[in-house]
Structure 1
Amino acid sequence: MSKRVTLFEPPQLDDSKAPIENVLELTPVDDIGPDVFTNTRPLWHPPGARGIYGGAAIAQCLAAAMRTVPADFAVHSMHCYFVLAGDSEIPIVYHVERVRDGRSFITRTVQARQRGRPIFTTTLSFSKANSGGKKKIQHASAMPPVPLPAVPAPGKKRFDENGGGPFESARAGIVNRDSNPEEKKVRRWVRCRGRISEAGAQHAHLSALAYITDSFFIGTVSRVHDIPRFSSAAELKRALKALKNPSDLDDEDIARSLNELKEEEAAELRRRLEGALNKLKDHRNQKDHKEIGMMVSLDHSIYFHNPWNFRADEWMITEMESPWAGEGRGLVLQKIWAKDGTLIATCTQEGVVRLKQDEPPRAKI
């Protein structure tokens, strides 16, 4: 029996909406229950990943939960766990549970299921607008002084480091580049492509932000250690060959994305090894050489500080740092500011980060 990517036949793309709105569109599944939804379109399986892009599950769970909450409530936190790798070749069904409806706070849980098994689960809390009173305690981390990405000259490529997907990014440097891993901070500019529609309203901006937060996140652990994610052209080819249902990227965009990722990682190595691509083979033969064997997200939390006052289709600056790694895991913190300096969100993510081991496999007993 052949697999079906979505429960229902996907409609035509809506040109009045931004690409991210089409990617994250949900369809109610009334036959199962009143608070049950499914992905309208196929979901992206990133190159080299064990399953679908985690940001899609995060964003669609948020979108599903927001459909059960009054318009004057906005999400202020969500805590997620990646349980199983999502399969991009079968539908996902999102089950929302109405845990609590209070006057100032509302709680929801959402389970994303495939074949009846949970692959992702999250608990979300919503707060009512202006419920904090006129007198407030307020402070926020200041946005780093980073210039906006330069506008490309006519005929030059746009900010395509992320290929042709629903959002784009531009590097903004690494702070404390020559310091210890825990002292480095990796910065990027990000924004959704196109213009989020008026019909999508702030819910669409919040879902888009949730989608973006998972990009480049756990990879920060390898970045601060100067360990490339793909250490050879062969690895890139294997990752590309294993790709499934790239609904928001075509083959050309994916190839360009991988090549640019390779170039970025090679640049980091070039600084330290005076070579990069033409010396990767020699570098791999060094006794202290390290290669990523597995990198998988375990949990993901987002604290939404200003859910009403930002646009996800305008430039936002992200700053990521890793205060700790060990025991085969790594922790990353992320802050996100709007271009006007407003602190939008703070995120955390822990994941499995394992290196390829030198010792031969043990015999089975």
Structure 2
Amino acid sequence: MALVFISPRLLVTIFEPPPLDPSKAAIENVLELTPISDIGPDVFTNTRPLWHPPGARGIYGGAVIAQCLSAAQLTVPDNFFVHSMHCYFVLAGDSEIPIVYHVERVRTGRSYATRTVQARQRGRPIFTTTLSFNAANSGGKRKVEHDSKMPDAPPPKELPTPPEARSPFESQRLDDSPLLISDDTNIEDRKLRQWIRTRGKISQAGGHQAHLSAFAYMSDSYFIGTVARLHQIPRFSSPAALQRALKALKNPSDLDSEALSRYFKELADEEAAEIRAGTLNGTLTANRLSSIMKRNDSREIGMIALRADDWLLVSMDSPWAGEGRGLVTQKVWSREGVHVATCIQEVFSIFDFYL
């Protein structure tokens, strides 16, 4: 078993990555797992190198969340759908070391199944999650139902994908979000809204599992910026803050220094423009997806309504912040108005990310 170093960024995988599969969406290739049968039947590793966002402490958290979900889905019957996922980041992930995902089959019943997954590096857990799965159509004929209604929002625009786009998903901010209607607006009443979807079409072979994993990947992209932006706190408040961010990079040689400076300068200018316009819609990374909820209705299964490769409307707000932490909720609707997911995160060390 040999470690494979992939130039020029020296990102590591345990096994040599296979060629990208053109029949799959980019996000499917990003989240692909490889079983490690020499260790155990329910042990997996990342097939491809993991992304370390510029200026971040570790790898993009959404990738670990999504791959833990993917690993757990490989151990349950195909007719079982995840309905909740409770997650904790323990340590920042290192992009130069492969991640090993250990799945424990806690229980498998006729209607529900429970799994725990630990993501480990150097033998230590960096992330842990407990997931609950529900068999399709196991809720019975008599149901008690209610749901959150989709807020009014302008439809997403169909724009061409820029040739330089590297992200496996895209987003469109809604400039009419009712954020800073006036200085008297309560912080807890302000909301950030945007449309999100994966780039390309998720393959039929990927099934509902690929859509759910892709959504888990995307959902972690907007949490940590919500609290600070609702408070009108820019990430880079001065040239000195820009320099501190550059010095904090894990691998400053990964990118050309001029390109890095331009990247952070553009980000700072964008945030300043948003503050002036009073629209503060964030796209910064976060660290934990605490739940993915499903809708029960008369369809084959509620989660079929969640198609990650079609536009999803995301609305975020923050009901509380204090003691260096902030609580953020995220509700997600399909384009047709079906409430497909609810995510909740308590963000830690907010000002570690907003200098």
TM over 0.5: yes
Structure 1 residue 111 and structure 2 residue 118: aligned?
yes
Q: What SS does structure 2 have at the residue aligned with 1:38?
A: strand
The answer to whether the 8 Å contact 1:45/1:244 transfers is no
1:66 — aligned with what? 73
The answer to whether the 8 Å contact 2:220/2:289 transfers is no
Tell me: CA distance 1:348–1:236, structure 2 relative to 1, closer, same or farther (3 Å): same
2:178 — aligned with what? 175
1:319 — aligned with what? 315
Aligned length: 328
Deviation string, structure 1 residues 12-69 (Cα, Å, up to 9, x no partner): 1111110000100000000000000000011111122111111001000000000000
The answer to whether the 8 Å contact 2:220/2:288 transfers is no
Residue identity over aligned pairs, in percent, reads 62
Structure 1 residue 187 and structure 2 residue 193: aligned?
yes
State how far apart, in whole Å, the 2-side matches of 1:73 and 1:185 are. Answer: 33
2:208 — aligned with what? 202
Gaps of 5+ in 2: 279-284, 296-301
**Among 45, 56, 68, the residue aligned to 1:49:** 56
- The amino acid that maps onto 2:321 is A
State how far apart, in whole Å, the 1-side matches of 2:206 and 2:252 are. Answer: 25
State how far apart, in whole Å, the 1-side matches of 2:256 and 2:37 are. Answer: 33
Q: What SS does structure 2 have at the residue aligned with 1:300?
A: coil
Gaps of 5+ in 1: 273-294, 357-365
Structure 1 residue 95 and structure 2 residue 113: aligned?
no
1:148 — aligned with what? 155
Q: Please list, as runs of the form range in 1=range in 2, the aligned pairs for 1:305-344 lying within 5 A after superposition.
A: 305=295, 306-344=302-340
Deviation string, structure 1 residues 115-143 (Cα, Å, up to 9, x no partner): 00000000000001001112211111111
Residue 330 of structure 1 and its aligned partner are, at CA, apart by 0.6
Residue 183 of structure 1 and its aligned partner are, at CA, apart by 1.1
Q: What SS does structure 2 have at the residue aligned with 1:205?
A: helix
2:299 — aligned with what? none
Tell me: CA distance 1:302–1:234, structure 2 relative to 1, closer, same or farther (3 Å): farther
The answer to whether the 8 Å contact 1:303/1:346 transfers is yes
* Structural RMSD (CA): 3.0
**Among 202, 206, 218, the residue aligned to 1:212:** 218
- The amino acid that maps onto 2:341 is A
Q: How high is the TM-score relative to the length of structure 1?
A: 0.82
Q: How high is the TM-score relative to the length of structure 2?
A: 0.84
Q: What SS does structure 2 have at the residue aligned with 1:303?
A: coil
The answer to whether the 8 Å contact 1:45/1:245 transfers is no
Q: What SS does structure 2 have at the residue aligned with 1:197?
A: coil
Structure 1 residue 300 and structure 2 residue 296: aligned?
no
Tell me whether 50-59 or 228-237 shows the greater mean CA deviation.
228-237
